[in-house]
Amino acid sequence: MNFIRKIVKPHSEEDAQFYNELKILLNFSPKKLNKYKKAFTHRSVQMLDSKGMPINYERLEFLGDSILGSVIASYLYKKVPKGTEGYLTQMRSKIVSRDHLNELGKDLNLIRFVKSNIDQANVGDNIHGNIFEALIGAIYLDKGYNTCQKFIHENVIDPYVDIEKLEGKITSYKGLIIEWCQKRKKKYTFDTYEDSGNESIKHFSVKISIDGEQIAKGRATSKKKAEEQASKRVYFAFQEQINLT
């Protein structure tokens, strides 16, 4: 029996350009172009499908996050046969940290594909990691798990994953400071409060005290960033003691 291979061609010049750039990025020919369009559509566009369901990257981001985690877990399980569950979990967290995924998205320049009604300067850094995960979700729906695995190895593991360097990488200064204080039986407080002043953008400040003495302060546009900033300063203030723990 003879089969005729169906070739899906882009319907417009815009689609043709998107297809060609995507093909170079992915290192394979995408078939379901709409999946990839969805991976780069921000919710601010407020698009709906024929059933009234939102068209944006958020569900693909969820899917891609799970697939990325499973591929990294499989790699670490084979790469570090003596690694404990806790060690493997920590290493996976370092590889798929939000900061690292944002860097990956930036390196691939994925933002060039994004459709949004918000200016790029105002969407925040996390969009880079979000669309990277959404892209993985789109690849899975288009080509399956094996192609996803290959893409992740080529774009994440091979160029960026160095086990020895990752072992010494700090992903959360706040977590490190809390763990150190608990081990040394030190009392610590994170005093976080809104501190916008005359600025239109909301800011938060945090003061970290250890054993009743204020050690460091931080200020940023979110509580988490402010706490990390202050915690990093505490780390450098006690770096020698912490590294000996």
Does 1 reside within a domain?
Answer: no
Domain at 222, CATH number: 3.30.160.20
Pair 154, 193 in one domain = no
pTM of the model: 0.70
> Confidence band (pLDDT; 50, 70, 90) for 8?
low
Count up the domains in the chain and report the number. Answer: 2
Cβ distance 114 to 40 under 8 Å? yes
Tell me the pLDDT tens digit for each residue of 164-189: 877 777 778 888 899 889 989 999 99
Co-location of 236 and 148 in the same domain: no
- Residue 138 and residue 179 share a domain: no
* Lowest mean pLDDT segment, chosen from 30-39, 66-75, 114-123, 143-152: 114-123
pLDDT the model gives residue 87 = 85
Structure tokens given for 42: 């921000």
Residue 125 and residue 203 in one domain: no
The residues annotated as belonging to the active site are 65, 133
Residues 27 and 129 grouped into a single domain: yes
Domain extent, residue 22, equals 13-167
Tokens of 111: 């933002």
Task: Return the pLDDT at 9.
Answer: 55
The domain boundary residue, chosen from 147, 167, 187: 167
Q: How confident is the prediction for the chain on average, in pLDDT? A: 88
- pLDDT per residue over 99-127, tens digit each? 889 999 999 999 999 998 887 766 778 99
Q: Considering 167, 195, 226, which residue would you say is the last residue of a domain?
A: 167
**How far from 118 is each of 43, 45, 57, 98, CA to CA, in Å?**
10, 9, 15, 21
Give the CA angle between residues 76, 93, 113 to the nearest 5°: 100
